[in-house]
Amino acid sequence: MAFESKEQAQAYWKENLATMGSLLAIWFLVSFGAGVLFVDILNNIQIGGFKLGFWFSQQGSIYTFVALIFVYVVRMNALDRKFNVQED
């Protein structure tokens, strides 16, 4: 990976960190927020006989994490193409 300038490399990493920060914030909100903070409110809703707060604690945060991995891959590939540092 070769950047054309130091400024281009800094801009790339700034966007990369912004992407990671936003995805980690989403994961935190789903795993901690839905599984711990809002569990009492979510337990009023049931999915397949299980309370929604329990479902988020046990499964929802894992599914969200896997989905965020795919989102990260797509966004990083787009970022690589934007800065012309893709691995082709």
What is the model's pLDDT at position 33? 82
Instruction: Please give the Cα distance from 24 to 18 (Å, whole number).
Output: 10
∠ Cα 16 76 60 (to 5°): 90
> Has this prediction a pTM greater than 0.85?
no
Q: How far, CA to CA in Å, does 22 sit from each of 47, 63, 71, 75?
A: 28, 17, 11, 12
Q: What is the mean pLDDT of residues 24-32?
A: 89
- Under DSSP, is residue 52 helix (H, G, I), strand (E, B) or coil? helix
pLDDT, tens only, 30-86: 888 877 888 888 889 888 888 888 777 778 788 889 999 999 999 999 999 999 888
Instruction: Please give the Cα distance from 15 to 11 (Å, whole number).
Output: 6
